[in-house]
Each structure stands twice: as C-alpha cells, then as structure tokens.
Structure 1
Amino acid sequence: MARFMAAWKRTAPWAARNADGAIALGLAIVVGVLGVMPPEIFGAKGTDIQRQLVTASTLVIMALVATALLRDRARQAPVERTITSGALAELPVRLARMEEIETLVHSTRRALDSLQLVRVLGSRQEIAQSHAEARKDTSRWSFKGGTGTYLRAVTLPLCVAAARRDKRHLTVRVEVVDPTNPEVCETYAHYRRSLSDAPDGTGETWTTDRVRKESYATILAAFWHRQRYGLLDIGVGLSSTMTTFRWDVSTTRLIMTVEDPNMAMTALAGTFYYENCDTELRLSFEQARRVPLERYKKVPLGDEPTIEEVQDLFEGIGVPLPKSYNANDVVDIARKALRAVDPYGP
C-alpha cells in the first residue's frame, strides 16, 4: 500500500497536467481489456454490447487525442511566433553583423601589420618563407650587402624565371663590395672570419680572394641573365665600403639579414622602416661605382661561359681580373656565378 501511495504521488501531478492524455490512456487500457474478454460475460447479446462499448470508447479516445493535439498547438503557437518573428527574423541582421565584425578583424590585422615597425624572424625556415613571399609576383628587387651569394644562388634565378613565365618586366638593383678594391675585400673577409673560422653554408672559409671572386661572380651573373631575358633591367653598383647587414627589398616587403642564419628582420611595404630603407638603398646605389651593364651586347656569353668569354667581359667593362688569376680562377668565378651554393640551404 505504501508503494502504491508513493507511486500515486509521483504520477498524480503528471496526470493533473495531462488529464486528457491520462484519460485517453486509461480508456485505451479499458478498451484493450474489453476487446480480449469473452462476449458471454455481457449476456445473451454480449457480442453486440462488447462491440458497442469498444466503439464508444474508441471515439472518446480519439476525441481526447484530438483535444490534446489542439491544446499542444495552442501552446506552441506563441513560441513559434516568437521564434519566427524574433530570432529568425533577426538572423539576416545578425549574419550581416558577423560579416562586418569579420571584415573589421581583417582590417584591424592589416592595420596592425602596417603599423608594426619590424618583425623579427627567428629561424632559417621563417627567413626562407619571408624571401619566398617577397619574391612572389614582385616587379623589382634591390639588394645591398657583401658579395651577393644568396642573390646569385636563389633570388636572381627565381625572380627572372617567374618574370619570364609571366612575360613581365623585372627591375633589379644590386650593390656589392668592389672586387678591384683590395682594402674593402680584406676588411669584409676579416669581418667574416672574426665571426667564425669554420666554413659557412657553402663549405668555404672567407678569405680576401674569396670575397673578390664572389663579387666578380655577381657581376658575371648579372650580365648572363641580362643577355637571356630582354625584359630584365638590372644594374650593379660596386661599393668601396662594407656593411654588416644585407638588405633585400621587393615590391611587398623588406628583409634585413645578418651573419646569423637564424636571425633576420622584415617589414611590409608602406611601413616607416620599409620606406626609409628603400630610400637608403636607392641613394647608396647612386653613389656606388656603376658597372656598365648596357654593354651586355658587346660581350656575349655562352650558356656555359668559356674562360676567354669571361676574361673579355671583365676587360670590356673596365673591371679587369687580377693578373695573377689563371684559368682555374676564372672557372671558379663562372661556377660561383651560375651554380652558386645556397648558403642557407639544408
């Protein structure tokens, strides 16, 4: 009895809230019981009486179910109106606001990038990625540094190849140490050796002779590429002073590297640092001794320049090779010009 009362207390509130459903459920149970009972229980006309009871109860159950459905619809109507007229109606407005917020976030990010003076790159991978982004679709490139090894190995060939593929104009300005100036070559070699006596990424150590050959190789590479791509406007300036920095400037960004292969700085076009460094490189190039690249037609170079072609080139442009250089030295310069080893490669 106690269990029955406890069960009743639990079900009574539900039955009160759902009286029509509870009655329908009770009648369904009664109809089910009447349907399975023997007709003889109801007397001589038990079958007719049983059928009438089941039919009447069924109609009552259907009426109660219909009442419950109508009541539920009446309850749901305000909720549906609220959803339809409220949240759903405001959905286009909210989506538009989300798009505005997303646009604002992108604009803010671009603004922060443009306001940022410089960004430090802390690994070879970041530096390589930054160079790749700088080369992408650029129409100009300016370089100022020591001897331009990375420029010969990676930057110049890839920029020229991309420009040739797209059939577009490419302007390149290069400033390296003057190979005919023994003092600046020795100063640069001494600086590089003072940082490390071990071979660099190319497998060579820095000597005065190497500095001289690397600069000669940059001049030779400039002529070689100029002769093979008519839309390349390239200029080379020779500096009598050295710098501890290397600047690479494209249409979209500036990259400044140092001797540490895992450290560099970059700035996007339009920033204060980019614009001022770009101006500095332009003025520095104007003050450097200019290599007469306009004579490129007078000193033709083969796909694999011969010793005589290389010697004639440097004689013809007024940047003669040292008299002490033999055939092996000339071959070494040609190798460095066209098959330079990436100093930052794996």
Structure 2
Amino acid sequence: MKRRIVWLVTNSDVALALSVAIVVAVLGVVGPDSEKAGPAESATLATLAVLAVILLRDRARNDQRDQDWREALAETQLRLDRLADGIDRSSGVYFVIGLEFGKVLAAARQSTDRWLFKGATGTYVRAVTLPECVDHARLSRRALVFRLEILDPTDPELCERYVRMHQRLTTRADSPEHSWTMDETRRELFATILAACWYQQRYEMLDIDIGLSSKLSIHRYELSSRCLIITQRGPSFPATIVESGNLSYDLWNTELAVSLRQSKLLPMKQIQDVPLSASPSADEVRSVFSLLGVALPDTYTDADLEEISELALASANPYE
C-alpha cells in the first residue's frame, strides 16, 4: 500500500493527465454532448492518453535503471571494503572492536607460550587470561612465560591519579569509573599479585614475573606468540592488532621487555615454597606480601586480606 501511494505521488502529473483523458473520453461517448464530439477532440484525447502511457513506461524504466545503479554501487562499495580489509590484514596490522576483539584475545590465549602484559590493575588478565593460558599450557605440557607490568599498589597517590584520570576521560554521567576509589584500585592490584603467586605454585612450568610501575597510561598492551594487542579499556574501544612476524611486533616485544626491566621487579622466587591453600587465608596473604617486599596498608584487617584472596581467585570476567 505504501509503495502504491509513493508511486501515485511521484507520477501524479501523468496520472492526472491520463485520468482526464479517460473521463473526457467516457463523457464524450455517453454524455449529453457526445454527438457533438468531433474527430479533432477524439484525436486530442487519444494523443493525451498515449503520451501519458509513454511517460509512465519511461519513468518505470528509469526507476529500474536507478535501482540497478544503486545495487551496483552497493556491491562495489562492499567489494572495496573487503579489499581494504584484506589489505589491512595482509600488512599484519589492523583494527578490531566488539565481538571480534574477544575472538582475537581467545585465539591468542589458546596456543601461546608467552604473555607480556603492560597496563593498570590487570583485572581481566587475573580473571581470564592467566587461568586460561595456564590451562592450555598444562594440557599441552608446554612451558609458559608470563610477564606482568602493573601499577604499584604501595603508592596511594599513583592509584588516586589513576582513578581521577579515568573519571575525567568518561563521556557519560553513569559510567562505572565515577564509583572507583583509590582503595579499591589498590585491592585490585594486590589481588593480581596474589593470583600470580598462586598460579606459579600450581604449574611447575610457569615462569612468571611482576613489575610494579610508577607511570600511568591509557593504553594496555598484551603480547602473545601470535600477536600484540593494543587497546584502552574493554572491547567497546578499537583495538590495534599487530601479528607476529611483523617488524612492529618485534619492536614492541623489545619495548615491553625494556619497560618491564625499568619497573620494580618483585622477587617471585622467594614465595615458590610458601604454601598457599586453595583459598589463601589472611596469614598466608601476609606471608606472601612480606616475602615480596610489598607493604600492605596497616589498616587492613583479616577480613580485608580475605577479600583480596577472594578477588585474586574468584573474579568474574569484568566485560561480561
């Protein structure tokens, strides 16, 4: 019905002419003055009707040509997009976002023998990346090198600056960053350190190091044997993928290694023989951080340390 209305509006002039021709022709036959209608009037009406039909047919052909042209243009644009995407990916550097970002991360975790992370709290790495990489490595009985460069939780001012930076970067009044606090950021960092220690004791072939950084960045770097992934916060932000075998990949591999060496490296070997239960107790948490030389806040109670233990090993995927 809608298409008929659009057609009538578009061809209203021709439809009017054709209607007039038909009406006049009918009146000329059955009307009171039908006997007075001469050959000239009939010829004029016939010509008008023929012209109307010709115009309608011509416009129909033009509409079909326009439709064919639009379809051809859309097909050409699709092919160009595919070609551009192919060129981007063939260069070894391309962008992904949303669901594809998650797929790239999952594929990188599945077969890697290394993972270098440089970021802030390492929440996603603690909850998803480290456990999955360890599981895949254990199934294949292969060695796994894991390097984490995170913010220094013993620097409250640094953690406060991190919170303020992300709050100022938000674009919505209801963004979760507005509820962040300095203490919660510190707890996330303590939990990431504890999780690394716990997994080190659970897999003999895991070689893990942690460096504490004093520098803020809005970017996050994750390098596997398959690719380097550079993003900001979460899958809603575009991520840059640099595939291995690419010169940029090798340069970033070196850069991340140098950056880690300039951070405050924790003596992870010191806690290899410290027993950690399935759910580390408050006393076990204190022992770990004491041997690592990481000072916990004096105000932390047993309940606080048990909360950190739960964060370390029971964290859900923050992006689900």
TM-score (norm 2): 0.69
Q: 1:224 aligns with which of 178, 192, 198?
A: 198
Is this contact kept in 2: 1:198–1:205, CA < 8 A?
no
The answer to whether 1:240 aligns with 2:214 is yes
Taking a change above 3 Å as real, the CA distance of residues 337 and 198 of structure 1, as seen in their structure-2 partners, is farther
Taking a change above 3 Å as real, the CA distance of residues 233 and 198 of structure 1, as seen in their structure-2 partners, is farther
Residue 284 of structure 1 is matched in structure 2 by 259
Query: What amino acid is the match of 1:261?
Result: P
- Structure number with greater Rg is 1
Residue 224 of structure 2 is matched in structure 1 by 250
Query: What amino acid is the match of 1:238?
Result: L
Is this contact kept in 2: 1:174–1:236, CA < 8 A?
yes
CA distance in 1 between partners of 2:107 and 2:120 (Å):
23
Residue 33 of structure 1 is matched in structure 2 by none
Residue 89 of structure 2 is matched in structure 1 by 113
The answer to whether 1:177 aligns with 2:151 is yes
CA distance in 1 between partners of 2:139 and 2:178 (Å):
34
Is this contact kept in 1: 2:167–2:178, CA < 8 A?
no
TM-superposed deviation, 1:193: 2.1
CA distance in 1 between partners of 2:95 and 2:285 (Å):
40
Q: 2:274 aligns with which of 299, 306, 328?
A: 299
CA distance in 1 between partners of 2:115 and 2:145 (Å):
6
TM-superposed deviation, 1:199: 6.0
Is this contact kept in 1: 2:150–2:213, CA < 8 A?
yes
SS in 1 for 2:179: coil
TM-superposed deviation, 1:311: 1.1
Is this contact kept in 2: 1:147–1:214, CA < 8 A?
yes
CA distance in 2 between partners of 1:244 and 1:110 (Å):
29
TM-superposed deviation, 1:260: 5.3
TM-superposed deviation, 1:127: 1.1
Structure 2: give runs of 5+ residues left out of the alignment.
1-84
Query: What amino acid is the match of 1:323?
Result: D
Taking a change above 3 Å as real, the CA distance of residues 187 and 204 of structure 1, as seen in their structure-2 partners, is closer
Of all paired residues, the percent bearing the same amino acid is 40
Residue 101 of structure 2 is matched in structure 1 by 127
CA distance in 2 between partners of 1:120 and 1:182 (Å):
35
Residue 18 of structure 2 is matched in structure 1 by none
Taking a change above 3 Å as real, the CA distance of residues 230 and 126 of structure 1, as seen in their structure-2 partners, is same
The answer to whether 1:320 aligns with 2:295 is yes
Q: 1:148 aligns with which of 96, 109, 122?
A: 122
CA distance in 2 between partners of 1:343 and 1:199 (Å):
14
Aligned length in residues? 233
Residue 47 of structure 1 is matched in structure 2 by none
Query: What amino acid is the match of 2:254?
Result: T
CA distance in 1 between partners of 2:122 and 2:220 (Å):
9
Is this contact kept in 2: 1:299–1:316, CA < 8 A?
no
Is this contact kept in 2: 1:138–1:250, CA < 8 A?
yes
CA distance in 2 between partners of 1:256 and 1:136 (Å):
18
Is this contact kept in 1: 2:153–2:186, CA < 8 A?
yes
Q: 2:307 aligns with which of 332, 335, 338?
A: 332
Q: CA RMSD in A?
A: 2.0
Is this contact kept in 1: 2:187–2:308, CA < 8 A?
yes
TM-superposed deviation, 1:113: 3.4
CA distance in 2 between partners of 1:184 and 1:209 (Å):
11
TM-superposed deviation, 1:115: 2.2
Residue 93 of structure 1 is matched in structure 2 by none
TM-superposed deviation, 1:171: 0.3
Residue 164 of structure 1 is matched in structure 2 by 138
Is this contact kept in 1: 2:150–2:212, CA < 8 A?
yes
TM-superposed deviation, 1:142: 0.3
Residue 20 of structure 1 is matched in structure 2 by none
Taking a change above 3 Å as real, the CA distance of residues 189 and 290 of structure 1, as seen in their structure-2 partners, is same
CA distance in 1 between partners of 2:307 and 2:165 (Å):
23
TM-score (norm 1): 0.64
Query: What amino acid is the match of 2:214?
Result: S
